[in-house]
Chains A and B, each alone.
Chain A
Amino acid sequence: MSRCLCDRSINHVVLERGEIAHTWRTERWDSLRLLTPNWQSRLPGFSYNGDDPDGYRSVAEVIEFIASYAKAISAPVLTHTTVTSVRSTETGYLVRTDQGDWLCRTVVVASGACNVAVVPGFASKVPRSIMQRTAQDYRNPEQLADGGVLVVGASSSGVQIAHEIHRSGRPVILSVGEHIRAPRVYRGKDLEWWMDAAGVLDERYDEVDDIARARRVASLQLAGTPDRSTLDINALTEIGVTVVGRLGGIRENGKAQFSGSLRNMCALSDLKMGRLLDRIDEWAQRNGFDARANPPHRLPPTRVEPAPPLGMDLASGEIKAIIWATGYRPDYSWLEVPVLDRKGRLRHDGGVVSSPGMYLMGTQFMRRRKSALIDGAGDDARELSDHLASYLRQNSA
């Protein structure tokens, strides 16, 4: 967005509470790799030119990438500047920070969709002897005592964390709710390549049937595996991870209860994946890729044990740690402008917030399916900065 505002000669500052790429420096586990391939992180006027286009960036490489971009575009970033409040004024907004106040006519909220790890209320009933971490403050298996680990959530974060903890020698139980299975490589190409080429990632928010629902959908169960292997429930079952249903509750006596819905959760996920692959195959056929790519194939259905466990005693000492990979929500506690709905979500039309002169960036399916990806920022920023520029023109005194 800063680059696009520069292109339109719009004076601006970028406020950053820490260093550039702060959340990547402070809120990621050690082994994480970006789940999109190197070639796919394309920013306005900046793209990958290294020798491993199909690789996945480590956390350090993501930090380096974002910092290099800020330098390349000479972004006017003020680091160590924490916004404490934003409120409306007669002519725009008053932005208060711990380094002084700013008056501005427009504000772009680019504070992220994953500020707070969401943990179910019944986490308070977990026995005190068990260590609890979220996907946000988990770093590596060495943080955890030896013994069993319950990982709750099987989207991208949950499966990766379950995988590495299991490989550290700690028995893992993975609690699986809604998730979307996806092969890392399909017909010889990265799934992201197909989704990019077939236009799936470019689908617009005003073209889908139910955008509210599309914005709530779990992210793909993809991992930036250096060997490009698919990390799904079957892969985890194969190495010995115990798969159970969604964690439905914890009783006062420390008994955890797992839902009996595991079979359907896996069926829904397999069907969703099947529909995505069908769509890719149709596109490949129409566009002459059948000769250039490997033939279509389908993954075997997700295996579910005949009778997965429906409960476990957390007080028995078998489980030493619980990792909550149960999603995130944005933190808008500093936003003192009435733009939130009753569920605390920001009301916006493709990133144009309901309060004039306010814009959003980087949330799930904001303007396009790719809006939350690094690769989605460019198109969104170009369009929203156009909107912002015309708003300034129309409202200039």
Chain B
Amino acid sequence: MAVAESIANNGVNVAALIAAREALTSAPVGAQFKWRAACEWKNGTHSHSTVEGFYGLGQEQHHRRTFTFDADHPEVFASEDKGATPVEYVLVGLASCLTAGIAAVAQHRNIQLRSVTATLEGDMDLQGILGIDDDVRNGFGGIKVTYKIDADAKREDIEALVAQSQKRSAVYDIVTNPTNVTVVVD
């Protein structure tokens, strides 16, 4: 008896991703990407950033439109709160990277997702950035990500999705491992 196997649909084109992986395995030069952002100071702690072009697959590429991001600090810092704080953007980057990864891995493993929500919390001791205590780092002391996932899968399979997504996440790697950063003034 033929049994129709249900195919999960999480809106991720896994066939295209796998084809890209194969193409870039044989032509690794195309895998060299450069991601870019531009930022302009407005006033106080408020800045306005844009993301539009990037480089990859051997040529200049463009988003469908320019995306903009206002960053500022909240009123408790005597700022005007015209946007999320930069560290909140880091949390947003981590959350969206892990979540995209979960969808892609779930699609690849034929797991239908019904809902995926994450809440993130980063601990920070302001004695670092305020220069009160040199032993306190500027950045997060730790980040906690909590997922709630409703899917057609056992708990272990859902945990495996989340673990694999961390293993393949760019932002998770950026946050957990050192990166050389070069800042120059033209």
Contact = CB atoms under 8 A, between A and B. Distances in A.
A98 B114 CA distance: 66
Interface in A16-49: none
A274 B178 CA distance: 31
Interface stretch (B7-15, B52-60, B83-91, B159-167): B159-167
A245 interface: yes
A97 interface: no
Contacts of B178: 248-249, 257
A59 B42 CA distance: 69
A361 B166 CA distance: 35
Interface in A242-273: 245-246, 248-249, 257, 259-261, 264, 267-268, 271
A342 B28 contact: yes
A261 B177 contact: yes
B139 to A, nearest CB: 10
Contacts of B163: 264, 267-268, 271
B115 interface: no
Interface string A291-317: 000000000000000010000000000
B156 A271 contact: yes
A249 B176 CA distance: 12
A261 B177 CA distance: 8
B108 to A, nearest CB: 10
Interface in B124-156: 141-142, 156
Interface string B157-186: 001100110110000110111100000000
Contacts of B176: 245, 248, 259-261
B93 to A, nearest CB: 15
Interface of B: 28, 141-142, 156, 159-160, 163-164, 166-167, 172-173, 175-178
Interface of A: 245-246, 248-249, 257, 259-261, 264, 267-268, 271, 274-275, 307, 342
19 contacts: A245-B176, A246-B177, A248-B176, A260-B175, A260-B176, A261-B166, A261-B176, A264-B166, A264-B167, A264-B172, A267-B159, A267-B163, A271-B160, A271-B163, A274-B156, A275-B156, A275-B160, A307-B141, A342-B28
